[in-house]
Amino acid sequence: MVRDPQTIQAEIERARDGLATAVDELTTRLDPKRALDEGKRRVHALWAQPKIKIAVIGVGALVAYVVVRKIFR
């Protein structure tokens, strides 16, 4: 089946537009500043949970206790 040149040109332009959209989306997703901001947002959201705060403080206190005990032994 033979296609006319206008149809082929229209398909090429649609494919080109689709690829341009995909490249723009990938560029946005892989932006280091955006990734860093997203990481910070997740850490802040995680730290806002009381269970996480208590666990981190408990581990910190345990580490401090072990270090002080080793120093004075």
Residue 35 lies in a domain: no
Query: Considering Cα of 28, then 29, then 33, then 34, what sign does the dihedral take?
Result: positive
- Does one domain contain both 46 and 67? yes
> Which mean pLDDT values do the consecutive 10-residue runs of the chain (73 residues) have?
86 95 91 91 93 94 96 89
Residue 2 has a pLDDT of: 73
Residue 73 has a pLDDT of: 83
What's the pLDDT tens digit per position in 51-61? 999 999 999 99
- Does one domain contain both 24 and 49? no
Is pTM beyond 0.75 here? no
Residue 36 lies in a domain: no
Query: Considering Cα of 65, then 71, then 72, then 73, what sign does the dihedral take?
Result: positive
Residue 3 lies in a domain: yes
What domain range is 17 assigned to? 1-30
- Does one domain contain both 47 and 71? yes
- Does one domain contain both 48 and 68? yes
Number of domains in the chain: 2
Both tokens assigned to 10: 């229209």
Residue 1 has a pLDDT of: 65
